[in-house]
Amino acid sequence: MDKQVKRIISDIKSLKIQGARNVAKSAIHALSLEAAGSKSRTPKALGKELSSVAEILSESRPTEPMMRNALGQMMVFFSQSASGGKGGDIKNARKNFAKHGSDLIKKMDDDAKKLALYGAKLIPEGALVLTHCHSSTTTRVLKEAERMGKDITVVCFETRPRFQGRTTAAELASAGLDVTLVVDGAMTLFMKKADIVIVGADSVTSRGDLINKIGTSTLAHIARMNDVSFFSAAELSKYSPMTMFGNLEKIEERDHHEVWDKPPRGVKIRNPAFEATAAKYINGYITEAGVIPPQSFFTLATEKLGIKIYE
């Protein structure tokens, strides 16, 4: 495997690269790099190499359908453009593959721009917005709202154990937003003054449930108790096709050292990275196609991803 690709995989695992979008973009980049530096002599051999690297990448963070969908799309493109991987010119196969990767990334960036506009319009003037973890899609929405002159205030939760809330706070502060970081336990207190909650998404299931950073469902429940609207900024490519026939999205469980490095003997530690928030607690998803109810996500996402339900 290419050295740079190995580094990207290790950065994804260690959270140096974090957030569904950044992970997906890095995975696309990694697979393109593997193709560019490959020593495979035929498209068939290259196809084999790429599909094994795509599998390793997919497993680097198990709860990331945006990455899985993108890698899947790239592999479909490869097998179609290299005549099923059986023949054709190897140089062209590599070149076309890399071009497809950069087209996909561009499309993702275009979608994020559209989504940010829909999200920013949704935020009331002068609103207090709560967010959790670090979602590049959500920070984009918040920065767009500020650009529109909405004069918002943001409170973000620190997000134990890896403190991604600090990344959110630092990013928003450097963009000139009014941002405060509080501990996760302060969710109820700050909800009482909030106007809207916006979080990101790692995965959206067929019934519109949201899988996002641990703590998200607590936030959604508290929002409902206080009549505060709860939205998730989620591109349609975060849809998890494996949930179509009842399979559950896998929830990543990370190393317990992230929670407590040297716990006393007898203390058990669990470290689930994500959790599900039921669709009934979600007012809507902010997508590149507009703000939609959780029930519509499946239809729009399968259409966008070209998933045929009936043959």
Do the strands 196-199 and 229-233 form a parallel or antiparallel pair, or are they unpaired?
parallel
Scan for tokens 């949704």, then name that residue.
122
Print the binding letters for residues 25-44 with ligand RUB: x by CB under 6 A, - otherwise: --------------------
Is residue 19 a contact point for ligand RUB (CB under 6 A)? Answer: yes
Do the Cβ atoms of 53 and 5 come closer than 8 Å? yes
Give the whole-angstrom CA distance, residue 76 versus residue 15.
28
Give the whole-angstrom CA distance, residue 254 versus residue 256.
6
Q: Which of 5, 18, 94, 206 binds ligand RUB (CB under 6 A)?
A: 18
Print the binding letters for residues 144-183 with ligand RUB: x by CB under 6 A, - otherwise: --------------------x-------------------
Give the whole-angstrom CA distance, residue 57 versus residue 301.
23
261 catalytic? Reply is: no
Catalytic residue, candidates 111, 133, 156, 209: 133
Give the nearer residue to ligand RUB in terms of CB position, either 46 or 204.
204
133 catalytic? Reply is: yes
Region near ligand RUB per CB under 6 A, out of 72-80, 133-141, 186-194, 300-308? 133-141
DSSP 86: T
Scan for tokens 């670090």, then name that residue.
134
Give the whole-angstrom CA distance, residue 232 versus residue 221.
14
Catalytic residue, candidates 111, 156, 202, 209: 202
Residues forming contacts to ligand RUB in the complex (CB under 6 A) are 15, 18-22, 133-138, 164, 199-202, 212-213, 273
Catalytic residue set: 133, 202
